[in-house]
Structure 1
């Protein structure tokens, strides 16, 4: 206890010292100017709040700060209102990242004991972790993501109990910035991730892993209907238009319309201060004339606000964090049919922007009190070592951003003069079911989870009654998913919901079909789906296409009849076409032959999408044996897995919104010097591959180079380039160490990325 008190005092004195230095060197900070021209001092949390520009009518309140929390990157609320926090203490100990593999990460529990809204007790649940990145509370335990593993710990009196390995390849590839995270426990009772193609579910003592769509980079959120939202570092917001459980059954279908859609295309940001400390700050166009970042470069932690405090204008709003520009953006979303799109709430300003350079919002959350919670890593360095340019390294050193490391804050944003209090959960079944209709989305989610985790079969009569509450659709929807989670949802209940005139209710009934179709119920669902096609239910049409694959194991002719009926009625609808093709794994050519007479126009969406998939399948059959390449270029294969495939995909065909294909790319198989130049120094702007121009927002506008990484040698570069030049359908010669060294020497003083125009002129 004495040691703990001494530690608190020492940290307080340290922060106080930093604050005194801040006062001496800067005087009073002026909005719009950097607090200091020679360094970036630590600013106490209460003073840091005063440096934030916030939308009128709101205020920022402190929830926790150092020494109670250090380097937070993610959090989760439990039913008692406590906050479980992931502390990634080892992230970038210095500008070279030395020592980041030390086991100093923690999972801690923060509690507000006196009810004043500020945490005052810290309890370490787990320590000695290496760069932990995500948690999820479920079924009396907690999932913890510690690369490369995903562990499940039983919780016994706030202490870890039995540990179970859920996935030993959860984050086996990629560096810290490009590994799975999120662990969002979604409305459909599955757990989803960003930067991943996996979802997880716990059935009793058994864990199940399934393939799903690849989504985002850091952070993931859901709306009131369970649709997922995410982004990558240069993209404001992306989302799924349909249920997250559908559309990922055909491994040859790369990119399914309605998933990974650009929801907000405007990527402009408006920092409150000059932000030269971004990786590409030296490049024309990255910063404006006042040295402020123009567009997202570290977008993360997207959140659909589902609280009840902000008012109607904030319903269906998306907030996005941008730590490199010290701000949080607000977007206003709208629906037209099943398409969700959005615009920025403001031009020329942000919902929140700070002039404190160390304000690093990395994750955003809804709170049980309706507030918007902000996880501030409060750190100088926010770029991982793999991609730090000499320009950024100089900024970090000049502005003294590497130290200190013992900081971190959690804030909440509330309307001014509002009274907030976290909702208290009960163990009474009827009261929990009533909470499924609460105005706060997080309360609804947690009531659903408590009922499922507690196996509240005594709540089933209340849940069935809630299915009839047509005037309370959100409660009805959650009640349906609780029944699904308790394995108590009945066929007749789903059929009735499928006939609902309320689209959100019908959408959820269509989404739950995979969980309830079986050998005895499929006949009823088959007939109902066929009726919906005949009735020209355009909103339901994509869902009908997705659902057909779950009818097929019991009645293949009926599933085919459903697909053919959809093709005949909606041959040029890209979403319906994608849904139909999601059923056709390994039989795309056969299906194309079947519909040739029905829809002969090659320009129709169904035929264009089928042709794309068939071409990809035929090309993949020409792929070279990867095991031989791994044997010949082991370091290259490993580097590709850790640094390349997270954006370019394991099959080299690129990932929508991230990166273009390497497979059959003339930039890969052509001139070696140009390829080496791109990998060493990066590429910015559009790139033409096989006659097609890839540019933002279809892909990220920038590919970072690795020339400045101390951990990647010329031999490593030669190996990875030899690996990709011989992979898939590529059949080009290998790259030598001397060839890499020659290019590195030629451009030894280069910092900026190449453009295609430069490379074509070489």
Structure 2
């Protein structure tokens, strides 16, 4: 304790100094980086290496040894910081020891209320690669692959551990496994990189399907719409709340979900960044050796703190640890569509010349500040995709050690006094916080109320849904839903609101309320909304389409009447079309015929979208038996599920913004030397599959090669290729381990990934990619 007390005093002094001088200091350029050296910068000096947006201040609030290798944080109702430490991640470039139980969940407290953490308590110890957690009820959800556990706690000590999901992660390497555990506006817990959502109902846990999105990190805006990204993409998002559009399992690529929100992927580091995985490739680094585009984008955050001022309303922040920076984006909403742009070109919101500055998590907090989780380490690339080039860069600048650093910062307007909102025990006062300008405060107040369900809060909640404050109405509405006390009359009244955002929330919650006793009343209101022609009618139309699914089980004729009315009125609107199709699982072909009778033009969007699903269903009937493929190629199945599935899809039909289809691919079914070459050395740039040219942003920029990955033998790679070449509708010839071995030797000196242009060069000009 004496050691920590000394650290506390030191950090307090440093914090006060930087709080007073940060704006002035950061307005000038930090010292230039030495490209040949990346020493560990003492925590007290770290801010001097940063360049921050003018007008903003940054404060160090925790560092080693109080915190080590943090990857995620959250706050409890007492404003303590809970953190996940992943100290077992990549101890060296080969990953030796990464399965050691070194992970922890710790809680940091600020005992003297100076804004700097000064005490540390280990709550859960001996975890292996923990990646996400969520405080809920009297405990905490913790993701420890492949399982998801719920720990009941009393006085920060474990009382009981319950297995929630034995397959929270089902395959995928550490960079492509589910994470996030984000407790959203609709009271469900969502994840990046996962098709599942979770909800605690008494002592039971509900697990349902969800829209899969993103890679590392997930966030929501004030309307409860979700945002994510992948490593090469600035920001992706949904135009509709996450509970909608989940009712037709045959429908892929639902319009309005996983959309490219911000197209700008350019980055502007303030130091040379040669230590990126593909730094040797043309176009990855510029002439000054700085990263050109995102390669490790993560932890998108929609700023909702209410502290930064109007210019920061509906802004997004995205971390890029490979380039040691944080980007700011400005978003805007037009109808259902949310799009944005980078806040400024040529610079970033925050950047550092310290190569070990690794921002991997961005969060809002109880004081309205932006919190930054800095893993602070040299290696962040997992061994699965680590190139020899990057391994060389790591060795050159001694980036392997140390492994026990970590820092937490908060950013806020310079000169502003920060005040933490406290969460009272009084239920009525908690209800009042549902209208607070700070989105974190609103979320936390809702969560406390839903977890504890104090009955004395109900009258105040019912008054709150009548308020003229849309934010208060929104959270009161979903709090009542979380209580199980929301009434149909309250929702029907809100469907008449002149405020579109309130109507939007009422539409979103309607499927949870519609039942045998009230469906006809909802049908009548929805029909009037379809007939309406006000300025928000077309914005409301997809919501009506989604909600209609809840009426089907009670009156299919009435539901179909609403769907045909929408189709007739908006036959060219892709969001309306896909909302309609989401209702017809199991009867797509019959519905297609009825739709063609009502709107016979086959060129209309509605008919194209339903036709697409019908064609996909018929196409899937031709697929190979998955059980048979697993019998023949067991190792191939395991590798595909661990490494390939995340990007190429479980059905082999590709994943938007990540990778093209493998199913019916000319590469997969063609000359085996081409597929072996790609698997060994990787592929970059556009690729033509089934007559369609896939290129960014429709797919990511590059597939990594595995020639240098010692975890996969020649036989392993042959097995996964044979699995792919015989699965779904592929009929490729067999590949032997000897084929892989031969081509591996021929390509041993090659460092660059292939392009399709190279691979399609006549064999006499490119003889080294043949296996026979």
Q: Which residue of 2 aligns with 1:531?
A: 528
Give the distance between the partners of 1:315 and 1:234, measured in 2 at CA. 25
Any idea what SS the aligned residue of 1:597 has? helix
Contact 1:32 1:274 in 2 (8 A): no
Deviation at 1:32, TM superposition (A): 7.5
Length-normalised TM-score, structure 1: 0.96
Q: Which residue of 2 aligns with 1:711?
A: 711
Contact 1:91 1:131 in 2 (8 A): yes
Contact 1:78 1:84 in 2 (8 A): yes
Deviation at 1:439, TM superposition (A): 0.8
From 323, 326, 351, give the equivalent of 1:325. Answer: 323
Kindly indicate whether residue 586 of structure 2 is the aligned counterpart of residue 589 of structure 1: no
Rate the CA distance shift 1:717–1:34 in 2: closer, same or farther, 3 A: farther
Any idea what SS the aligned residue of 1:160 has? strand
Q: Which residue of 1 aligns with 2:504?
A: 507
Give the distance between the partners of 1:31 and 1:458, measured in 2 at CA. 55
Query: Structure 2 unaligned runs (5+)?
Result: 11-27, 764-772
Q: Which residue of 2 aligns with 1:23?
A: none
Contact 1:39 1:401 in 2 (8 A): no
Contact 1:234 1:297 in 2 (8 A): yes
Kindly indicate whether residue 474 of structure 2 is the aligned counterpart of residue 474 of structure 1: no
Kindly indicate whether residue 93 of structure 2 is the aligned counterpart of residue 95 of structure 1: yes
Any idea what SS the aligned residue of 1:514 has? helix
Give the distance between the partners of 1:632 and 1:142, measured in 2 at CA. 41
Counting only pairs closer than 5 Å after superposition, residues 267-286 of structure 1 correspond to structure 2 as 267-286=265-284
Deviates more, 1:224-233 or 1:243-252: 243-252
Contact 2:423 2:430 in 1 (8 A): yes
Deviates more, 1:295-304 or 1:612-621: 612-621
Contact 2:31 2:49 in 1 (8 A): no
Q: Which residue of 1 aligns with 2:13?
A: none
Any idea what SS the aligned residue of 1:461 has? helix
Contact 2:376 2:407 in 1 (8 A): yes
Q: Which residue of 1 aligns with 2:648?
A: 648
Any idea what SS the aligned residue of 2:62 has? strand
Give the distance between the partners of 1:750 and 1:421, measured in 2 at CA. 57
Kindly indicate whether residue 446 of structure 2 is the aligned counterpart of residue 440 of structure 1: no
Deviates more, 1:532-541 or 1:635-644: 532-541
Deviation at 1:733, TM superposition (A): 1.8
Contact 2:4 2:66 in 1 (8 A): no
Q: Which residue of 2 aligns with 1:566?
A: 566
Q: Which residue of 2 aligns with 1:732?
A: 732
Deviation at 1:191, TM superposition (A): 0.4
Contact 2:572 2:604 in 1 (8 A): yes
| Partner deviation per Cα, 1:141-173 (whole Å, 9 max, x = no partner) | 100000000100111111111111111100131
Give the distance between the partners of 1:556 and 1:295, measured in 2 at CA. 50
Deviation at 1:598, TM superposition (A): 2.0
Contact 2:30 2:48 in 1 (8 A): no
Any idea what SS the aligned residue of 1:596 has? helix
Deviation at 1:551, TM superposition (A): 0.8
Q: Which residue of 1 aligns with 2:550?
A: 550
Deviation at 1:564, TM superposition (A): 1.1
Contact 2:72 2:132 in 1 (8 A): yes
Rate the CA distance shift 1:31–1:388 in 2: closer, same or farther, 3 A: farther
Deviation at 1:542, TM superposition (A): 0.2
Give the distance between the partners of 1:611 and 1:667, measured in 2 at CA. 27
Q: Which residue of 1 aligns with 2:617?
A: 617
Q: Which residue of 1 aligns with 2:421?
A: 423
Contact 2:72 2:84 in 1 (8 A): yes
Any idea what SS the aligned residue of 1:387 has? coil
Give the distance between the partners of 1:659 and 1:572, measured in 2 at CA. 28
Contact 1:721 1:735 in 2 (8 A): yes
Deviation at 1:520, TM superposition (A): 1.2
| Partner deviation per Cα, 1:20-57 (whole Å, 9 max, x = no partner) | xxxxxxxxxx9577633433111011211111000001
Q: Which residue of 1 aligns with 2:167?
A: 169
Deviation at 1:628, TM superposition (A): 1.1
Deviation at 1:554, TM superposition (A): 1.1
Q: Which residue of 2 aligns with 1:118?
A: 116
Any idea what SS the aligned residue of 1:249 has? coil
Q: Which residue of 2 aligns with 1:43?
A: 41
From 397, 400, 403, give the equivalent of 2:398. Answer: 400
Q: Which residue of 1 aligns with 2:492?
A: 495
Give the distance between the partners of 1:599 and 1:160, measured in 2 at CA. 61
Contact 1:184 1:191 in 2 (8 A): yes
Any idea what SS the aligned residue of 2:522 has? helix
Q: Which residue of 2 aligns with 1:195?
A: 193
Rate the CA distance shift 1:314–1:625 in 2: closer, same or farther, 3 A: same
Deviation at 1:597, TM superposition (A): 2.4
Any idea what SS the aligned residue of 2:708 has? coil
Contact 2:4 2:118 in 1 (8 A): no
Deviation at 1:225, TM superposition (A): 0.8
Deviation at 1:534, TM superposition (A): 1.7
Give the distance between the partners of 2:748 and 2:65, measured in 1 at CA. 43
Any idea what SS the aligned residue of 1:406 has? coil
Deviates more, 1:31-40 or 1:443-452: 31-40
Q: Which residue of 2 aligns with 1:82?
A: 80
Deviates more, 1:582-591 or 1:445-454: 582-591
Contact 2:4 2:119 in 1 (8 A): no
Give the distance between the partners of 2:722 and 2:612, measured in 1 at CA. 28
Length-normalised TM-score, structure 2: 0.94
Q: Which residue of 2 aligns with 1:26?
A: none
From 290, 311, 330, give the equivalent of 1:313. Answer: 311
Deviates more, 1:324-333 or 1:707-716: 707-716
**Which consecutive aligned stretches of 4+ in structure 1 deviate over 6 angstroms post-superposition?**
none
Any idea what SS the aligned residue of 1:271 has? coil
Contact 2:35 2:272 in 1 (8 A): no
Counting only pairs closer than 5 Å after superposition, residues 15-94 of structure 1 correspond to structure 2 as 31=29, 35-94=33-92
Deviation at 1:487, TM superposition (A): 0.8
Give the distance between the partners of 1:615 and 1:560, measured in 2 at CA. 22
Kindly indicate whether residue 698 of structure 2 is the aligned counterpart of residue 701 of structure 1: no
Contact 1:149 1:172 in 2 (8 A): no
Give the distance between the partners of 2:565 and 2:357, measured in 1 at CA. 55
Any idea what SS the aligned residue of 1:132 has? coil
Q: Which residue of 2 aligns with 1:182?
A: 180
Deviation at 1:613, TM superposition (A): 1.2
Deviation at 1:524, TM superposition (A): 1.2
Contact 1:34 1:274 in 2 (8 A): no
Give the distance between the partners of 1:76 and 1:553, measured in 2 at CA. 40
